[in-house]
């Protein structure tokens, strides 16, 4: 567990009613991510998913801790592990689930699918199936905020594998020289598909690379939603104050296979250890016990919260199932914005 | 030429770019300029921009082509209208993922949520000993990517009008500038002050004729006009069309002309295989088949990289003689 966090004591900033609400909101959003993805597992086994999904199960504290430090006016981009980010950013579940089923009511009208969810209404400028590819997009959103003189920030999610893509370095450098309000947020789950981060990254902590771009780089316990939230909140404050970008690295775990249902022929991690994670490092279970321990919430309240989220997810699945498929002609729309300049 | 036309005020390529950028930046404060060595105006098109619009809207980019294109895409999604000067067109390759995966696809993949008013300018520096790494003409590769618009003007007034339209367009527009036209070849009559707009997707008929249609892209259009003059002496009447915009292509103008003349030559400085000329030739063959009286002939650059030695380089590109030979072949069919 993280230094400086006494698990026995409710941290000051979560003591008052606002803090209490915020803590429960973090729990609610982690549950939204978890239960949404468990629903996708069920859809996968029922043969209803037209493609594979990359799950954030195990990584909810990293995703949610970062997103709650921003508002829906702030921008966010993500990657192929794609559901958690827009959900945590506040997107409605129905249109996201419909997108996974390729339905007309999907958030992208059925043209994006699992790896390319976007909900511009909550600042989610899109996930990316090309690893690392959306990193400069978040950087550009930060540029726009700066030029327009708004106080928005851009939150940029990427994995440890993406940390080796050149555009991360180009983007961090651009953000640093221009002092752009960007938070580079690495979900380091230890693997890029099968390749260990320790074997593909030249430093123990990706966060140390921040020094090369004269920005703060911090490592946080990615299973501790409060720790993640605090570090991201500081980075957001710095960005809003005009002091430029930061790099936050959350050490986290991927509980399921790289893509759900993917069979990797050669074992690259120990299954018994992976199985034990549900008992030892599940961010939702950990936070659940901490909320109880602090007396910040009772079992009944947490059960009611879970039930409410489950109902929301069930409704999303039903909405998605009942939604129509897009008509064939939809394949030919949205290519170009209507924009005619006549002489 | 008469004394009056030689003395008439002329517009050059760099002035056209500068005027387009200045007018559009003045008109719309969301337009920002980004590029390498922009503030010092090393490439000559950004004179006065820093002084007039300030450092927030005029930015020197580091040498990070992929990052730069992605930053422009993100900035556009979040409300700016970036104009990126990528300088040499060969540098697009380092940014290919960002052009394709972000700039071209974001609107479509996100179901119309994203709007990407980005203009990327890049100059085609072939013909001058710049060799393999600087002399590419990569526009046909981008014609193969839906979601992008592409302009490639052959005169400075067209560049002015098209670039202004491109900056106002809500879509990503790539502006390829044929550097061989930057000097005297590309100069044209100075448009009056005020909005000189050329809409995207409108071809220009440079010269009317009845025997053969020659479609010329960039420098190819200049070569076509010169060839047409030479052939006129033999009584051959050549119609010359400059598409000006490659995406969207002005098919009605091209197809109508070929249907009328029954013969078609396309002059394109790109490498032959899958060139813009290939697409035009294929479309003409499909749509004008019964009107054609000879083969559609392409005049393109041979499928090699650009060699350094002038002894090697000159032979690979379209020339006036090659255009003339192509017209004769089309007429012989
Ligand atoms: C440019 C690119 N290269 C390779 C891939 C294939 N691929 C998809 S996800 C992935 C691993 C990414 O690892 P990481 O960034 O750590 O994210 P994680 O999957 O661990 O969340 C790879 C190699 C891809 N989609 N894009």
Task: Round the average pLDDT of chain B to a whole number and report it.
Answer: 96
Residue A190, ligand 1, Cβ within 6 A: no
Which positions in chain B touch A108 (Cβ < 8 Å)? 109-111, 113
Q: Is the pLDDT of residue A304 over 50?
A: yes
Taking the centre of ligand 1 as the mean of its atom positions, its distance from the CA of residue B309, in whole angstroms, is: 43
Q: Is the pLDDT of residue A179 over 80?
A: yes
Q: Where are the domains positioned within chain A?
A: 12-332
Q: How confident is the model at residue A15 (pLDDT cuts 50, 70, 90)?
A: confident
Q: What is the pLDDT of residue A9?
A: 76
Cα-flanking dihedrals φ and ψ of residue A74, to 5°? -80, 160
Of A110, A103, A112, A65, which is closest to residue A84 (Cα–Cα)? A65
CB contact under 8 A, A136 and B67: yes
Pick A174's closest partner by Cβ from B57, B67, B101.
B67
Residue A162, ligand 1, Cβ within 6 A: yes
Q: Tell me the pTM.
A: 0.95
Residue A80, ligand 1, Cβ within 6 A: yes
Does residue B192 form part of some domain? no
Q: Is the pLDDT of residue A1 over 60?
A: no
Residue A28, ligand 1, Cβ within 6 A: no
Does residue B197 form part of some domain? no
Ligand 1 atom closest to Cα of B97?
A: 1
Least confident of A74-88, B185-199, B282-296: B185-199
Kindly calculate the radius of gyration of chain B based on its CA atoms and give it in whole angstroms.
20
If asked whether residues B229 and B174 sit together in one domain, one would say no
Residue A262, ligand 1, Cβ within 6 A: no
| Residue B209 distance to chain A (closest CA, Å) | 26
Pick A334's closest partner by Cβ from B69, B108, B117.
B108
**Structural domains counted in chain B:** 2
Final residue of a structural domain among B126, B158, B186: B186
- Residue bearing the CA closest to ligand 1, atom 6: A131
Of A77, A341, A339, A148, which is closest to residue B80 (Cα–Cα)? A148
CB contact under 8 A, A111 and B108: yes
Ligand 1 pocket: which of A77, A134, A192, A262 to mutate (most atoms <8 Å of CB)?
A: A192
CB contact under 8 A, A133 and B62: no
Q: What is the mean pLDDT of residues B218-246?
A: 98
If asked whether residues B108 and B226 sit together in one domain, one would say no
Ligand 1 atom closest to Cα of A159?
A: 15
Q: What is the mean pLDDT of residues A313-326?
A: 98
Taking the centre of ligand 1 as the mean of its atom positions, its distance from the CA of residue B289, in whole angstroms, is: 48
User: Which CATH number is A12-332 given?
Assistant: 3.40.50.970
CB contact under 8 A, A148 and B79: yes
Ligand 1 atom closest to Cα of A80?
A: 9
The Cα B166–Cα B159 span in angstroms is 10
Q: Which of B30, B33, B96, B111 to mutate to test the interface with A (most CBs of A within 10 A)?
A: B111
Q: Is the pLDDT of residue B181 over 60?
A: yes
If asked whether residues B38 and B151 sit together in one domain, one would say yes
Active site positions of B, annotated: 134
Q: Is the pLDDT of residue A18 over 90?
A: no
Cβ atoms within 10 Å of B310's Cβ, excluding its own: 11
Q: What is the pLDDT of residue A342?
A: 74
Taking the centre of ligand 1 as the mean of its atom positions, its distance from the CA of residue A316, in whole angstroms, is: 28
If asked whether residues B144 and B28 sit together in one domain, one would say yes
Does residue B143 form part of some domain? yes
Cα-flanking dihedrals φ and ψ of residue B59, to 5°? -125, 135
If asked whether residues B175 and B274 sit together in one domain, one would say no
DSSP output for A31-80: HHHHHHHHHHHHHHHTT--SS-----TT-HHHHHHHHTTS-TTSEEE--S
CB contact under 8 A, A336 and B115: no
Of B122, B119, B151, which is closest to residue B137 (Cα–Cα)? B122
Residue B92: CATH number of its domain: 3.40.50.970
CB within 8 Å of A88: residues ≥ 6 apart? A29, A32, A33, A60, A63, A64, A66, A67, A68
If asked whether residues B113 and B213 sit together in one domain, one would say no
Least confident of A126-135, A191-200, B188-197, B214-223: B188-197
ipTM: 0.92
Ligand 1 pocket: which of A37, A62, A80, A260 to mutate (most atoms <8 Å of CB)?
A: A80
CB A255 within 8 A of CB A277: yes
Which positions in chain A touch B197 (Cβ < 8 Å)? 341-343
The Cα A93–Cα A96 span in angstroms is 5
DSSP-assigned beta bridge partners for residue B213: B239, B264
Q: What is the pLDDT of residues B118-164, one digit of tens each?
A: 999 999 999 999 999 999 999 999 999 999 999 999 999 999 999 99
Q: What is the pLDDT of residues A267-292, one digit of tens each?
A: 999 999 999 999 999 999 999 999 99
If asked whether residues B171 and B211 sit together in one domain, one would say no
Q: What is the pLDDT of residue A14?
A: 83
If asked whether residues B107 and B150 sit together in one domain, one would say yes
Q: How confident is the model at residue A6 (pLDDT cuts 50, 70, 90)?
A: low
Q: What is the pLDDT of residue B6?
A: 54
Residue A72 burial (10 A CB sphere; 0-12, 13-18, 19+): middle
Q: What is the pLDDT of residue A7?
A: 60
Range of the domain at B250: 204-332
| Residue A41 distance to chain B (closest CA, Å) | 24
Q: What is the pLDDT of residues A94-115, one digit of tens each?
A: 999 999 999 999 999 999 999 9
If asked whether residues B128 and B177 sit together in one domain, one would say yes
If asked whether residues B268 and B316 sit together in one domain, one would say yes
Question: How many beta-carbon contacts under 8 Å exist across A and B?
Answer: 179
Instruction: Name the DSSP class of B189.
Output: E
Q: What is the pLDDT of residue B7?
A: 64
Q: Is the pLDDT of residue A4 over 60?
A: no
Q: What is the pLDDT of residues B33-77, one digit of tens each?
A: 999 999 999 988 999 999 999 999 999 999 999 999 999 999 999
Does residue B52 form part of some domain? yes
Q: What is the pLDDT of residue B25?
A: 98
Q: What is the pLDDT of residue A2?
A: 44
The Cα A123–Cα A120 span in angstroms is 5
If asked whether residues B146 and B269 sit together in one domain, one would say no
Q: What is the pLDDT of residues B2-29, one digit of tens each?
A: 444 556 799 999 999 999 999 999 999 9
Residue B220: CATH number of its domain: 3.40.50.920
Q: What is the pLDDT of residue B4?
A: 47
Which positions in chain B touch A135 (Cβ < 8 Å)? 70
Ligand 1 atom closest to Cα of A59?
A: 21
The Cα B203–Cα A282 span in angstroms is 62
If asked whether residues B237 and B128 sit together in one domain, one would say no
Which positions in chain B touch A147 (Cβ < 8 Å)? 32, 56-57, 75, 80
Cβ atoms within 10 Å of A318's Cβ, excluding its own: 12
């Amino acid at each position: 567990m993280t230094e400086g966090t006494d698990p026995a004591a409710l941290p000051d900033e979560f003591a008052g009613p606002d803090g209490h609400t915020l803590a429960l909101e973090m729990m609610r959003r982690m549950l939204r991510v978890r239960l949404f993805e468990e629903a996708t597992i069920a859809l996968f086994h029922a043969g209803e998913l037209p493609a594979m999904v990359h799950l954030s199960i195990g990584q909810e504290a990293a995703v949610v801790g970062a997103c709650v430090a921003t508002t829906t006016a702030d921008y966010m981009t993500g990657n192929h592990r794609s559901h958690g980010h827009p959900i945590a950013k506040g997107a409605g579940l129905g249109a996201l689930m419909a997108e996974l089923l390729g339905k007309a009511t999907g958030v992208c009208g059925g043209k994006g699918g699992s790896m390319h969810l976007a909900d511009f209404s909550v600042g989610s400028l899109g996930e990316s199936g090309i690893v690392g590819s959306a990193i400069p997009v978040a950087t550009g959103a930060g540029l726009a905020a700066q030029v327009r003189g708004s106080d928005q920030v851009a939150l940029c999610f990427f994995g440890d594998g993406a940390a080796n893509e050149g555009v991360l370095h180009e983007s961090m450098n651009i953000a640093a020289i221009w002092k752009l309000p960007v938070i580079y947020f690495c979900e380091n789950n230890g693997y890029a598909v099968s390749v260990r981060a320790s074997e593909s990254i030249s430093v123990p902590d990706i966060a140390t690379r921040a020094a090369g771009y004269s920005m703060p780089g911090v490592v946080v316990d990615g299973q501790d939603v409060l720790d993640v939230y605090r570090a991201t909140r500081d980075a957001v404050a710095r960005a809003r104050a005009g002091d430029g970008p930061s790099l936050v690295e959350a050490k986290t775990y991927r509980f399921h296979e790289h893509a759900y249902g993917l069979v990797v022929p050669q074992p690259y991690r120990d299954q018994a250890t992976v199985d034990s994670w549900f008992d030892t490092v599940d961010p939702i279970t950990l936070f659940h016990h901490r909320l109880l321990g602090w007396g910040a919430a009772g079992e009944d309240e947490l059960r009611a919260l879970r039930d409410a989220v489950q109902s929301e997810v069930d409704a999303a699945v039903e909405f998605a199932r009942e939604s129509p498929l897009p008509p064939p002609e939809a394949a030919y729309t949205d290519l170009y914005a209507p924009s005619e300049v006549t002489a | 030429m008469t004394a009056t036309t030689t003395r008439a005020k002329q517009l050059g390529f760099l002035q056209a770019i500068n005027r387009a950028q200045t007018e559009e930046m003045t008109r719309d404060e969301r337009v920002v300029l980004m590029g390498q060595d922009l503030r010092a105006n090393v490439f000559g098109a950004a004179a006065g921009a820093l002084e007039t619009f300030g450092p927030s809207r005029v930015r020197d980019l580091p040498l990070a082509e992929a990052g730069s294109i992605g930053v422009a895409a993100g900035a556009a999604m979040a409300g700016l209208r970036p104009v990126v000067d990528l300088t040499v067109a060969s540098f697009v390759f380092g940014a290919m993922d960002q052009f394709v995966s972000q700039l071209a696809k974001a609107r479509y993949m996100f179901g119309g949520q994203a709007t990407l008013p980005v203009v990327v300018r890049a100059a085609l520096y072939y013909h001058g000993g710049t060799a393999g790494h600087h002399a590419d003409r990569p526009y046909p590769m981008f014609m193969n990517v839906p979601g992008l618009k592409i302009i490639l003007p052959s005169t400075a007034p067209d560049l002015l009008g098209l670039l202004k339209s491109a900056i106002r367009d809500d879509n990503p527009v790539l502006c390829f500038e044929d550097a061989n036209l930057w000097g005297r070849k590309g100069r044209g009559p100075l448009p009056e002050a005020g909005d000189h707009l050329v809409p995207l997707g409108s071809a220009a008929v440079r010269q009317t004729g009845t025997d053969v249609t020659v479609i010329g892209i960039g420098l190819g259009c200049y070569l076509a006009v010169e060839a047409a003059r030479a052939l006129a002496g033999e009584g051959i009447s050549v119609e010359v069309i400059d598409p000006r915009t490659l995406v969207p292509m002005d098919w009605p103008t091209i197809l109508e002309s070929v249907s009328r003349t029954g013969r078609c030559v396309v002059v394109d400085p790109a490498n032959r295989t899958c060139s813009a000329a290939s697409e035009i030739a294929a479309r003409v063959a499909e749509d004008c088949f019964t009107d054609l009286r000879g083969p559609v002939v392409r005049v393109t650059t041979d499928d090699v990289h650009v060699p350094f030695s002038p002894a090697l380089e000159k032979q690979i590109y379209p020339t006036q003689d090659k255009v003339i030979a192509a017209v004769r072949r089309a007429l012989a069919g």
